[in-house]
């Protein structure tokens, strides 16, 4: 009887080991595919879901490595509260038109919001508008209920207390109480814009967190994602090594990420 029990336990142990090895092999294969960039193209929603888990600093480094361009916005682009998001750019341009009395001058700006949906990021450029609020609480509420990931405004933002209350994330170059009404007109939506120095096309991926905002060209998104994920993995694994060895020099030599 005892021999039978021991024999069964041995078989169970072998089975557990085999299953563990199979699991490790599956993970290795998945990682190899992700790192080589040869994996099946991700759906739009899956792509954004994965970008949400990557640090913007790693995305910025990956962009510079792959595109040889700096695709991050300046230190002036600040969040109204700590937030992290990723989504597809819905671009809007406001052009200066001082003293206009056209009641429809900004209608296109509002219509552009209603045309967006889940995973959209409202990217607005207010021409020479550092001290003009490009959006406020009403626009933020509309974006929030439509499932927007957030907004990035090359210009000002107002109604900040309310935007914080509804937890709608906005990055802007300033907080101001002013209005764009009678000072600006709609200049177009879903058009190429330059937001805080960075070219943005409709459908590009916008990522934002405590380190700032970066823009990923849609055509290179999967390659940038794979590189950024690899950088994140290396960097996160280094924290424990630095703590263990009490040396950043040794950790950088071991992992190769800085």
Residue 38 predicted with pLDDT over 50:
no
On whether residue 241 sits in a domain, the answer given is no
> Is there a single domain that holds both residue 114 and residue 210?
yes
Residue 13 predicted with pLDDT over 60:
no
With tokens 């690899």, the residue in question is: 230
> Is there a single domain that holds both residue 149 and residue 210?
yes
> Is there a single domain that holds both residue 132 and residue 64?
yes
**138-167: per-residue pLDDT in tens?**
999 999 999 999 999 999 999 999 999 999
Q: From 198, 215, 232, give the residue that closes a domain.
A: 215
> Is there a single domain that holds both residue 67 and residue 24?
no
Number of domains in the chain: 2
On whether residue 6 sits in a domain, the answer given is yes
On whether residue 195 sits in a domain, the answer given is yes
In the chain, alpha helices (H)? 2-36, 44-51, 56-67, 107-114, 137-145, 160-165, 221-245, 248-255
Q: Nearest-CA neighbor of 135 among 181, 190, 195, 99?
A: 181
Residue-number span of the structural domain to which 156 is assigned: 49-215
Q: Which residue did the predictor score with more confidence, 5 or 206?
A: 206
Q: Judge if pTM exceeds 0.85.
A: no
Tokens matching residue 93:
């341009």
> Is there a single domain that holds both residue 36 and residue 53?
no
Strands annotated E in 97-158: 120-126, 133-135, 150-157
């Amino acid at each position: 009887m005892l021999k039978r029990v021991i024999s069964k336990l041995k078989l169970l142990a072998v089975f557990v080991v085999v299953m563990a090895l199979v699991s490790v092999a599956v993970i290795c294969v998945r990682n190899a595919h992700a790192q080589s960039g040869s994996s099946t193209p991700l759906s739009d929603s899956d792509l954004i879901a994965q970008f949400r888990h990557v640090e913007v600093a790693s995305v910025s480094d990956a962009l510079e490595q792959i595109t040889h361009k700096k695709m991050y916005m300046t230190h002036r682009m600040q969040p109204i509260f700590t937030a992290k998001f990723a989504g597809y750019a819905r671009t809007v341009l406001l052009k200066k038109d001082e003293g206009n009395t056209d009641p429809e001058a900004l209608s296109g700006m509002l219509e552009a919001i209603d045309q967006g949906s889940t995973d959209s990021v409202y990217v607005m450029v207010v021409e020479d508008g550092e001290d003009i609020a490009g959006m406020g609480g009403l626009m933020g509420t509309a974006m929030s209920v439509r499932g927007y990931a957030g907004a990035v405004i090359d210009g000002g933002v107002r109604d900040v207390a309310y935007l914080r209350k509804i937890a709608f994330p906005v990055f802007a170059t300033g907080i101001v109480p002013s209005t764009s009404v009678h000072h600006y007109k709609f200049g177009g939506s879903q058009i190429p814009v330059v937001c805080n120095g960075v070219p943005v096309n409709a459908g590009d991926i916008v990522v934002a967190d405590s380190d700032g905002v970066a823009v990923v060209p849609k055509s290179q998104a999967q390659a940038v994602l794979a590189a950024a994920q690899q950088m994140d993995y290396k960097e996160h694994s280094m924290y424990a090594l630095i703590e263990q060895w009490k040396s950043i020099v040794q950790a950088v030599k071991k992992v190769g990420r800085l």
